[in-house]
Amino acid sequence: MTASGLSTTGLTKSFGGVRAVDGATVAFHHGKVNALIGPNGSGKTTFFNCVTGMIKPDAGTASYRGRDITGKAPHRIARAGIGRSFQLCRIFPRLTVLENMLVSVRTSSLLGKLISARQSADVDRARELLARVGIDHLEHAEARDLSYGQQKLLELAGVLMADPETIMLDEPAGGVNPALIDRIGKLVRSLNAEGKTFLIVEHNMDMVMSLSDHVVVFDRGRPIAEGTPAEVQEDPRVLEAYLGV
């Protein structure tokens, strides 16, 4: 693990006395496609939220590129080089696809974003990224009129607008048809080949096992196993967590 990667030490977060993340110490492989898997309620999304500043952990630390990012504001963590998507798409439903892309890279008021961005180089970049994810033909459509899978692609393209070094995806295949799952997988592999690091929370095991270089398994808020896809599939701790065997 290099200093340019993402890691946590003793990361802990409780809600109402229940430890959603329980002293999690884990390091993800920089430059690789990492997966974070585990049964429902094992703390994966809470872990994501702690790392990206959406919520503050109760204890422990998170670091990235050798810097402490624990409890930093989300925009500061994003500027450090981490981008993320959400389990439920976060888009502006009444804005067009192109407008959603432009809003994602502006910091002034919403109206100012839309006016100034139309005259900037961001427009060209937005269109390039929409073409890359395969929805450039929808740039003038309102985001609410896209299928759920297309909304997932829009959210991913929006994340790419900031050119993050590490991309964290929360259930990119959730609610998506097999053709779009395949497209998302190919995008991840292509972007990884260009140097992007990925950390993916996902329940689709076919996607995880075919796409990932390194898999971390959570149960009850902490990692219980890690390794290659083949290694974690044979780990008795993983079988017990998932199947109770």
Q: How confident is the model over 171-215, as pLDDT tens digits?
A: 998 888 999 899 999 999 999 999 999 999 998 989 999 999 999
Give 105's pLDDT tier (boundaries 50, 70, 90).
Answer: low
Question: How many Å separate Cα 65 from the centre of its chain?
Answer: 17
- Predicted local distance difference test score (pLDDT) of residue 238: 85
- Predicted local distance difference test score (pLDDT) of residue 114: 61
- Predicted local distance difference test score (pLDDT) of residue 106: 55
- Predicted local distance difference test score (pLDDT) of residue 119: 59
Per residue in 53-70, pLDDT tens? 999 999 999 999 889 999
Tokens of 244: 């109770």
- Predicted local distance difference test score (pLDDT) of residue 2: 42
Tokens of 2: 């290099």
- Helix (H) or strand (E) holding 101, with range, is helix 97-103
Tokens of 57: 């952990």
In terms of residue numbers, what domain contains 108? 6-243
The answer on pLDDT for 4 being more than 80 is no
Give 1's pLDDT tier (boundaries 50, 70, 90).
Answer: very low
Q: What secondary structure does DSSP assign to 127-159, as a single string?
A: HHHHHHHT-GGGTTSBGGGS-HHHHHHHHHHHH
In a domain, 1, yes or no: no
The answer on pLDDT for 135 being more than 90 is yes
Q: State the Cα–Cα distance between residues 186 and 133, nearest whole angstrom.
A: 10
Which residue's structure tokens are 């985001």?
143
What number is the average pLDDT over the span 126-138?
95
The answer on pLDDT for 164 being more than 80 is yes
Report the DSSP pairing between strands 166-170 and 197-201: parallel
In a domain, 39, yes or no: yes
Per residue in 78-89, pLDDT tens? 999 999 988 667
In a domain, 25, yes or no: yes
Tokens of 110: 């919403």
Closest CA to 29 of 186, 202, 199, 225: 199
CATH classification of the domain holding 123: 3.40.50.300
Q: What is the percent of the chain where pLDDT is above 70?
A: 90
What number is the average pLDDT over the span 146-170?
93
The answer on pLDDT for 226 being more than 60 is yes
pTM of the predicted protein model: 0.89
Per residue in 5-34, pLDDT tens? 899 999 999 998 899 999 999 999 999 999
In a domain, 99, yes or no: yes
Indicate the number of domains in the chain. 1
What number is the average pLDDT over the span 139-157?
93
Q: State the Cα–Cα distance between residues 148 and 33, nearest whole angstrom.
A: 24
Closest CA to 125 of 152, 109, 105, 145: 105
